[in-house]
A and B are shown apart, each in its own frame.
Chain A
Amino acid sequence: MNTIEMGQLIFNIEGQDGALMVTVTGSINEDLQIDKLTHLKGASIIFDLDKVKMINSCGIREWIRLIESIGGETKLEYIKVPQIVIQQMNMISGFLSKNAKVTTFYAPYFIEDLDEEKQILLRTDEVKDFKAPKMSTNVDGTDYALDFDAIEEQYFKFLKR
């Protein structure tokens, strides 16, 4: 594994023969330096964003630059995309490039009876016609229905491309 530290941001890079798995940890911000990531090349790259805590506008710009530097021929896949990143994908034009797709992402659900929030990892193919899949959970032996806790049209906007 190749680990690259850039301030509050860490890239762990695994894989070979053109297929890379990159685990991103920390804050995507001005610390992201493309010149430290020039070896990110290949036929396909999977980015695991599960441990991304924060993102800011400089981070968005640097991320877009990074994806441009990798090149449009590379197939990009995002997995375990947290809510804060989904929100940026939905609001910033160009953040989700044409050669990229999200396959799994977190979505907010709510257990009304317990007054509790739950982040559920969804597969994009579970979202049909931009409607959130119905979910339930078991807490201490009791089944509870989960309500999707966002405006579907807005939260799933990134799937419309």
Chain B
Amino acid sequence: MLHQVLFLSENSNNLVPTLENLFEDQKDLKMRFIFPETLYKTDFAESEFIILDYDYYLKNKEKLQPAFQYPDKLSIFATLTDHNQMNEILKSTKVAHLFGMSGTHTLQDIKAYLVASLKNEFWTPETFINPPETVRTHSEIKTSENLNQQIELILGKHDLSRTFDEFKGILIQILNETITNALYNAPVDASGKFLHRHKSRRDTVISDEKKIPTLDIVEDADKIILSIKDFYGTLTKEVIDHYITHGEVTEKDGGAGLGMFIVLKHAHKVIINVDQGKMTEFIIVLHKFKRFYHYQTLEKSYHLYQRKQS
């Protein structure tokens, strides 16, 4: 089967051949990348994927608007070092895949996205590891009690000496928010009613023994990759779209509704895998830099993979 990808960019002439080359090792996937001068409605409708350059879209809105009629197959790439810009794009487009553009590295990510989507697979921390892997820890978070101490104990097994001082604080904040979500916001009872969502975060929550959230931290020389999993799979795209772009306190009870926004602000890559009714995983990729300036200027990406209940 031939998989058609509509690649919409001013630089398609240069980018598509590079992308085609990257697929040479994928003998079982036959790809056809198109970037016609004149676009017809059928080009959008008949393509399995639409990859859109956001700068190109801003210059050709009328011509490229039909892409947004196909949210399930649309992904966007843009030059993204500024969180506000990323936020604006996510807010206005509600796209599930937003790639920060940084040359061939991004094309590798686009390839990984196409492969994972076609094989109905999720990205994993291994997607981002450049061997050799240096440190790996696996932990179960059974209770919300003393959560920060638990996090600090786990981070103590990782070498953060070649990072700027505040990096550890950022890691703690990201882990505090994502683990709190896994403990309080994810669990439901058999009827689908949320068990702890409206509880004060001062009230201790103990995980169901069969569904204990996990935290995996993997490192290579340049990156630290966090994977936080709950085993309920109750997060929806609508909830993510609302909270991930919302930098204001809106919730009076339970959580403050800021966690996902803060995580997106800090991380270089945020990947959310939702296997509906089974599992939600946040994968957060952070590059290790000695200088905060370098950390701040690295491009960002956001991805949501969903596997609906059959």
Q: Which residues of A contact B (CB under 8 A)?
A: 7-8, 27, 29-31, 53-58, 60-61, 64, 83-84, 87, 91-94, 108, 110, 115, 117, 119, 147-151, 154
Contacts and interface: CB of A to CB of B under 8 A. Distances in A.
B102 interface: no
Given A54-B148, A93-B248, A108-B166, 19 more contacts: A29-B176, A29-B201, A55-B173, A58-B201, A61-B249, A84-B169, A84-B170, A91-B261, A91-B262, A92-B249, A92-B262, A108-B164, A108-B293, A119-B165, A148-B293, A149-B164, A150-B292, A150-B293, A151-B296
A57 B259 contact: yes
A93 B293 CA distance: 23
Contacts of B124: none
Given A8-B148, A108-B166, A115 B247 contact: no
Given A149-B292, A150-B296, A57 B177 contact: yes
Given A8-B148, A27-B148, A150-B293, A54 B172 contact: yes
B130 interface: no
Chain A interface, DSSP helix/strand/loop, else mixed: mixed
A147 B290 CA distance: 13
B111 to A, nearest CB: 30
Interface stretch (B35-43, B114-122, B250-258): B250-258
Contacts of B201: 29-30, 58
Interface string B231-262: 00000000000000001110100011111011
B177 A92 contact: no
Contacts of B257: 57
Interface of B: 82-83, 148, 164-166, 169-170, 172-173, 176-177, 180, 200-202, 247-249, 251, 255-259, 261-262, 265, 290-293, 296-297
Contacts, number: 92
B51 to A, nearest CB: 29
Contacts of B293: 108, 110, 147-151
B249 A60 contact: yes
A118 B154 CA distance: 26
A60 B169 contact: no
A65 to B, nearest CB: 9
19 contacts: A8-B148, A30-B202, A31-B202, A54-B172, A54-B176, A57-B257, A58-B255, A61-B249, A64-B249, A84-B169, A91-B261, A93-B247, A117-B165, A117-B292, A149-B164, A149-B292, A150-B296, A151-B296, A151-B297
A115 B290 contact: yes
A96 to B, nearest CB: 13
A84 B297 contact: no
B256 A84 contact: no
A114 B247 CA distance: 37
B169 A53 contact: yes
Contacts of A27: 148
A149 B290 CA distance: 10
Given A56-B177, A92-B249, A84 B255 contact: no
A84 B167 CA distance: 10
Contact of B258 (A8, A60, A84, A149): A60
A91 B247 CA distance: 7
A75 to B, nearest CB: 23
A35 to B, nearest CB: 12
B262 A57 contact: yes
Contact of B296 (A7, A93, A154): A154
